[in-house]
Amino acid sequence: MDLALHLTYLAAGLVILWKCAELLVAGAVGLARRLGISPLIIGLTVVAMGTSAPEAAASIAGVLQGTGGGDLAVGNVFGSNIANLALVGGLIAIIRPLVVRKKTLMREVPAMLLVALLLWPMMRNACLSRIESVALLAVFAGLIIITIRIARREGPDAGIEVPQADPGSAPQTLPRSIILAAIGLVGLAGGAKITVEGAVFIGRAIGISEGVIALTVIAFGTSLPELVTCVVATLKGQHDISVGNLVGSNIFNTLLVTGAAGAVRPFTVDRRFAGGADYWIMIGVSAAFAILAVAGRKTIGRIAGAVLVAAYVAYIVYLFTCTA
């Protein structure tokens, strides 16, 4: 009965995620148009923060549980970052080649790599103190301020045609855009919670360790908002929102989610997360995403997308065969 119930949670959560992602994308496009700023900036901030909310909730809940909480918190961040770029990025590139702006490759993608590398000196002693956590949050606040200033200076990107969405999904008034985005964000968080609850129950029932559950089940579950939001945005031709969501979510996960968890309760982690294999796999996937975009002349094509997805599948196989 419990298994059937949690399988139902999985199915219901996925339906909620998809519907709310449509609302979020519609609201995000409307906000960009009404505020006169680039959809990329909306993707990097509003959408990325909203779709990263499940990671934040899961990681904070992890450290509050005590023993093994640090592994759950950091494993969720590492696993989500890997899933965002390899699985989500790969899948949406297979659906439709993903266009990455030159400015994004020169600015936001390097920032994503740098903040990920910032974790190594902080966590190489297998723990994260409250001072280090506050430092991560300070870096996050600084990046948000810089992003807002860039948005004000640049405005909507000149010379770039923004694809027109259908009238039902592209609200023309600011209040309606805000309402749709808010409903979408709340629904994504709720749908992810239901989905993760079902997935974690099933994972523990078959005897998977906490660290692997964090890297796979929880990480995938909390990445579902990014997945469905990016798929919906890609199908509507909104590449800036997809790219901004992926890159922004990884920055948010690394700085905001890790920092918030450590600020709530300093924690220790297994060596695998303190500069071990899982950490460097996350760095490698981030670098591979950037390299594929550059090699494809600012486009991640279907073959490159398939390579990313294959890499994610290989990582999952590695987790279950070598570390579970």
Helix ranges, 155-298 (H) = 174-205, 210-213, 219-235, 239-252, 258-264, 277-295
Sign of torsion, CA 281 220 19 178?
negative
Cβ contacts of residue 146 below 8 Å, gap of 6+? Answer: none
pLDDT per residue over 1-28, tens digit each?
576 776 676 667 667 766 776 676 677 7
- Does pLDDT of 135 surpass 70? yes
Q: Which of 165, 167, 177 is nearest to 36 (CA)?
A: 177
Best mean pLDDT range from 12-26, 143-157, 216-230, 241-255: 241-255
Secondary structure of residue 182 in the 3-state scheme: helix
Q: What is the pLDDT of residue 162?
A: 42
- Does pLDDT of 192 surpass 80? no
Average pLDDT over the chain reads 79
Q: Which of 103, 138, 92, 112 is nearest to 48 (CA)?
A: 112
* The domain over range 2-156+166-323 is classified in CATH as 1.20.1420.30: yes
Q: Is the pTM of this model over 0.85?
A: no
Backbone φ and ψ for 209, nearest 5 degrees, come out as -65, 160
Q: Which of 25-29, 159-163, 206-210, 254-258 has the lowest mean pLDDT?
A: 159-163
Cβ contacts of residue 79 below 8 Å, gap of 6+? Answer: 214, 215, 216, 218, 219, 220, 223, 278
Domain residue spans of the chain: 2-156+166-323
Q: How many whole angstroms separate alpha carbon 17 and alpha carbon 25? A: 12
Q: Which of 256, 246, 259, 312 is nearest to 89 (CA)?
A: 246
Per-residue confidence band for 203, with pLDDT thresholds at 50, 70 and 90 = low
Q: Which residue has the higher pLDDT, 35 or 108?
A: 108
Mean pLDDT to the nearest integer, 31-44:
74
Mean pLDDT to the nearest integer, 278-305:
93
Helix (H) or strand (E) holding 93: helix 89-95
pLDDT per residue over 143-190, tens digit each?
888 887 876 776 655 434 344 444 344 445 778 877 877 787 777 667
Per-residue confidence band for 273, with pLDDT thresholds at 50, 70 and 90 = confident
